[in-house]
Structure 1
Amino acid sequence: MFKNILYSAAALTFVLPGAAQAQDASEGRPDDGTSWKYFYFHKAGVSQDQARADIIECYGFAERLVVSKNGYTPTYTSVPYGGSTGLSPLAAGIAGGVGSLAGAIIVGFMDAGDRRAMERTNLRKCFGFKGYARYELSKEDYGELNAGETEEVRARLLAKATGTAPNEERLVP
């Protein structure tokens, strides 16, 4: 185990200086309006094959997110059967199930926004690490870019990533 930790630390010694250069925030303007939410990536001189691999990798990281509230998952804690509830065990079980379902639905809606924000953050970090620049899109253009089947979306993202250099001002990664 110590050997693995040592190898990991040695690898980070070589990787981190390059990562610091790739994520240089001195170029570009900070987010304002909806630029934190609607954006695309471009990298000058990147090959189609490399950009496709980067898109698959970075979007793959973003798709596999699970929202965890510091290890706390809301669940229903039932009152012991009988006694103070005045319900039969069957009625108490049904009431607990209905309450759990309602709680899960509410938490699901709340967590969806958190998950989307984390996806955007992971995309920015992953593509920034790989040297891509981030550019703002309108809400409508962003919706069109990400609408459709997976391969169609990848083709549009690939065209944006490898196409001609954008005229828009670059955003801070």
Structure 2
Amino acid sequence: MLVATSLTLPGIASAQEQAPAAPAAEAAFLADSGSPFGKLEFDEAEAGKLEMPKLAFTATPEDQASFDKYYYFVRPGVSYGDAYRDIVECDGYARGLQSGIGYVQPPYPYAGTMAGAVGGAIGNAMAMAIFGSAEKRRLRRVNMRQCMHFKGYQRYGLKKDLWEAFHFEEGLSDMPESRRFDFLKRQALVAATATPQGEELGL
């Protein structure tokens, strides 16, 4: 047994010495995540027909305080087509979200009464209008930022009125599809071709 061991160990050592080197680390983002929303059809030539949104501005302290809401994405070297696919995919994950605010029964002694039902309906409708819409907008921003960050895009702040020219927010109502994709196309144009203004904000 000792002889067999002495004959085996050198072979193991030799195999370990000749083991191939570990592959180099890949990019920190996934180039193609295989969108679950199906194949996206678009014309590459349409990028040349889009008007580039205005991005240049001088940031005030008020602007900087709202960069968590108003920003755009850029990824150097990405094509317009890939940027458009990425933004549409991330938009798919970020749309149609629930705010988490639902119907709440009125407290005793009005529970189960007509007055309680009417009052509860009015109160819940007001809560949804005031808080539910804002929460859905916040959740959309969170999902878009995380998804685009995962895909390797950098985030830069933008003045609110410039942001509104090619972005949208969804509260209790949905954005019409035709307008939605017009905005997404211009966001993709910026992501693929813009020279960033200001400091990169991170996730």
Q: Offset of 1:100 from its aligned partner? A: 2.7
TM-score by length of 2: 0.58
Instruction: Find the partner of 1:130 among 141, 148, 151.
Output: 151
1:119 aligns to 2:140 (yes or no): yes
The answer as to 2:173 corresponding to 1:152 is: no
Amino acid across the alignment from 1:163: T
Range moving further from structure 2, 106-115 or 120-129? 106-115
Asked whether 1:170 is paired with 2:200, we answer yes
Greater helix proportion: 1
2:70 and 2:157 in contact (8 A); partners too:
yes
Give the number of the structure with larger relative contact order, counting CA–CA contacts within 8 Å between residues 6 or more apart: 1
CA RMSD of aligned residues (A): 2.8
Using the TM superposition, give the Cα deviation of residue 78 of structure 1 relative to its aligned residue in structure 2, in angstroms: 7.9
1:94-113 alignment, distance < 5 Å = 95-108=115-128, 109-113=130-134
What stretches of structure 1 move > 6 A for 4+ residues in a row? none
The secondary structure found in structure 1 opposite 2:156 is: strand
Contact residue 145 and residue 153 of structure 1 kept, 8 A: yes
Distance across 2 between alignment mates of 1:40 and 1:164: 10
- For 1:162 and 1:132, the matched residues in 2 are separated by 10
Structure 1 unmatched ranges of 5 or more: 1-16, 23-30
- CA separation of 1:45 and 1:172: change in aligned 2, threshold 3 A: same
Report if the CA contact (8 A) 1:48-1:158 is conserved: yes
The 5 A counterparts of 1:3-42 are 21-22=28-29, 32-42=64-74
Q: CA deviation at 1:168?
A: 2.2
Structure-2 change in CA distance of 1:141 and 1:130 (3 Å): same
Tell me, yes or no, if the aligned pair for 1:43 and 1:131 is still in contact at 8 Å: yes
Q: CA deviation at 1:156?
A: 1.3
* Offset at residue 151 of structure 1 (A): 2.3
Unaligned stretches of 5+ in structure 2? Answer: 1-24, 30-62, 169-177
1:139-162 deviations in Å (ceiling 9; x for gaps): 101111125811221121111111
Residue matched to 2:99: 67
1-structure distance, mates of 2:104, 2:95 = 25
Percentage identity across aligned positions? 30
- Give the TM-score, by structure 1 length: 0.66
| 3-state DSSP of counterpart to 1:41 | strand
Counting matched residue pairs gives 135
| 2: CA distance, partners of 1:102 / 1:77 | 11
- Alignment partners' CA distance in 2, 1:119 and 1:68: 13
